[in-house]
A and B are shown apart, each in its own frame.
Chain A
Amino acid sequence: MTLSRRKFLGGLGAATAAAAIAPLVRTRRAWGGGNATRRIVIVGIGGGLRTREALGMAEGATMPNLFGRVPLIGGFGSGDAGDPVIAPEYAAAAPALVLPPPRATPLHADGALVTNLRYAEGPPGHLQGHACLVSGAYNQLENRADARLPVPTIFELHRKAAGAPATDAWYLNVPGGFYRALSSSGAPGYGPTYAGAYLSPPALLSPLVSIAATGVRDLDVSNGFTLPTIPRDPAEDAAARGLTAVLDGNFPRYPADGVTVRADEADVAAIHDHLAEIFADPTYQAFFPDAFGIGVRADDGGVDATADALTVFHAERVLAKFQPSVLALTLLDIDACHDSFNGYLRGQQIADACVAHLWRFIQSTDGLRDETTMIVLPEHGRHLFGNGQHPDSYGRSGIDHGQGDDGDRDVWMLALGPDVAAGTVVAPTGVTQSGRSSGRYETIDAVMTAMTLLGHGDVMASELALGGARPGLVIEEVLR
């Protein structure tokens, strides 16, 4: 009889789990032999996405790249779900979406899909949901800049275990602001020293930043003109760093406060250079190129980014340049649903196209292809009922999230990569673990599975238990 981690943990109390886990995981890790994964990408389709629309396709096939056009869960028919049902008045008023043709074969056929994942605990809020995706821990994190998770993030775990620089573990997200708190935790032995490199493209990677800073206030485009950029001179950058080092060598370091992230000089330089290239581009295509092909149609015929499209484009740039071992990104376009059900559906279309673009990019990039496992899942769902805001001509109003009904908590997970059992669609039940009442695989299991593939499952389980969190299980059904 094989002793699985899930069954073993099910018989352990939380107090003994940490001590017992390390030898257990070493046994468990031999799930099928070889492990090709060298990098993990965790994509949180943030904003609150219900299974009804994503897998049930109750409003048409809003995510054809991921799931095709036939509902993947019961209760929604077995035929073609048709195109997304966008209210005519919304379609007439909103800028046209720009989407590439959908894949001939949906991504789930190339990977493994768990259709009944459960975001089982914690508030269905964006910060808490995103925090779960970057830590594998349900949490009650407060919406404050100085709030920190009590358990280490995946970035810290990887950096500490691997001795890796910040540029080997990235977190990109849409909201910005205090969401950067999710790049590190307050866990003992971890913290800002091991923080991931954090980037919120919508707040930073805009030409308006350079236009404002360069002081240009008028641009006449009648004849030849130059767009405002931030000048870049690598020799000057190097010289300035050298002189700054003279000053810093003669000045005390900041006392550690357990919160503030201070990257080492090599990471600062690498991130600076990456951003400087973008801000120096006189075409502005480095911010977001029309060729990305996902967004909304601009007045000039080009493509304007949505926040999600911009974030995924820059995730690809980070992947190309740094080839990090860990990259997490969380999207948010779907959250338009608070005010607009049609915006919610369009957000799904954008996220769907972005995820497909990202996976295609990974598969077409040397050093990423065949080494990268990508996990895609919503951070949580939305209520089963509308909020009455802005009903469309079909009677569909906005929908909130946060109360924790089944619409909020029923989600799914798509896994892709070299260690994933392709063509798997499962909805396991009877999953047992001490403290687990769902009987199903959960969001924390998706994160644990990814980290186990990267070789950090044992330390993650130990640290979660030490931090008082229930460690996730490895979802064996999706692995080769």
Chain B
Amino acid sequence: MTPGPHHARRRAVAVAAALALAGAALVAACTTTYEFDDLGVGDESGGRTPVPRSSAQFVGAIYADLLGRTPEVADFTITQGGAELARIPLDEQALAVGAMDAVGDPRPVRDLVVTAMLASPEAGVPARADVDDPAAFVTDQFRLLLGREPNTYELGAFVTAWRDDPAVTPRTVIRAIVASREYQSR
């Protein structure tokens, strides 16, 4: 199994701690030298060079991950008193991809589309008050969206933010993960 980024980070932290201890020993003694065996910390990416998802790939991914389906072509119908005033065909894929490709860096528009999808009843995102265990919710979202567990640092950051900032809701957690380079690449 290829070690994930969190694995590399744990190892990097271990090395940093070892070096800090060594530095402290040097300050204290100044007369003793130490040698350490080489300790591999892995590369930062866990062996993965990120390749950005195209807008079409990204749209396919968010419809699958957030709504559990593929983008559809459907009609938007406007009615009044039971009478149909207008029927407008909507191609979810074409509209989303077109919008994302209408800016140079698509990230702002990707986030807006995701925010809209998460606001829909179809997404079924729970309210903050309905989440009893934020750590479990965050962990579930990492598994679902990134296919891995959050590392200790990540889980701590998300749970602390949840605890300290009322603006952090289930929707915020999902938006943050989907906006990450890890999710937006392959």
Contact = CB atoms under 8 A, between A and B. Distances in A.
Contacts of A197: 103-104
Interface string B37-81: 000000011001111100000000000000100000011111111
A212 B95 contact: yes
A292 interface: no
A209 B113 contact: yes
B117 interface: yes
A430 B6 CA distance: 69
Nearest to B107: A268
Interface in A197-229: 197-204, 206, 208-222
B170 to A, nearest CB: 11
B19 interface: no
Given A215-B121, A252-B48, A243 B103 contact: no
A195 B78 CA distance: 41
Nearest to A177: B101
Interface string B69-100: 00000111111110001001011100110110
A209 B95 contact: yes
A239 B91 CA distance: 31
Contacts of B99: 203-204, 209
Contacts of A198: 103-104
B11 interface: no
A108 interface: no
B181 A219 contact: no
B112 A276 contact: yes
Interface residues of B, number: 68
B98 A251 contact: no
Contacts of A176: 98, 101-102
A254 B44 CA distance: 12
A20 interface: no
Given A213-B96, A275-B112, A253 B181 contact: yes
A472 to B, nearest CB: 25
Contact of A221 (B78, B92, B108): B78
A218 B74 CA distance: 11
Contacts of A1: none
A89 interface: no
Nearest to A184: B104
Interface string B116-138: 11011110000000000000000
B161 to A, nearest CB: 6
B127 to A, nearest CB: 13
Given A208-B95, A244-B179, A218 B77 contact: yes
Contacts of A210: 116
Q: Which of B76, B115, B151, B185 has the most CB of A within 10 A?
A: B115
A252 B52 CA distance: 12
A211 B76 contact: yes
B165 interface: yes
A26 interface: no
A39 to B, nearest CB: 20
A276 B171 CA distance: 16
Interface string B146-169: 000001011001100100011111
Contacts of B166: 235
A219 B76 contact: yes
B6 A250 contact: yes
Contact of A233 (B105, B111, B122, B167): B167
A213 B100 CA distance: 12
B6 A215 contact: no
Nearest to B154: A246
B116 to A, nearest CB: 4
A244 B79 contact: no
A180 interface: yes
B153 to A, nearest CB: 7
Q: Which of A209, A219, A242 has the most CB of B within 10 A?
A: A209
B88 A208 contact: yes
Contacts of A260: 52
A276 B113 CA distance: 10
Given A215-B122, A236-B167, A250-B5, A243 B102 contact: no
B22 interface: no
B96 A200 contact: no
Contact of B168 (A202, A211, A218, A243): A243
Contacts of A248: 180-182
Given A180-B101, A208-B88, A230-B112, A213 B117 contact: yes
Contacts of A196: 104
Given A219-B76, A240-B172, A214 B116 contact: yes
Nearest to B151: A250
Nearest to B150: A247
Contact of B177 (A195, A247, A261): A247
B103 A204 contact: yes
Contacts of B115: 230-231
Nearest to A267: B105
16 contacts: A196-B104, A198-B104, A203-B98, A204-B109, A206-B95, A212-B76, A212-B95, A213-B92, A231-B115, A240-B172, A243-B157, A246-B154, A251-B180, A251-B181, A253-B50, A279-B116
Interface of A: 166, 176-177, 180, 183-184, 195-204, 206, 208-222, 230-231, 233, 235-236, 238-244, 246-248, 250-255, 260-263, 267-268, 271-272, 275-276, 279
- Which 4 residue pairs across A and B have the least CB separation, nearest first? A243-B176, A213-B116, A198-B104, A272-B108
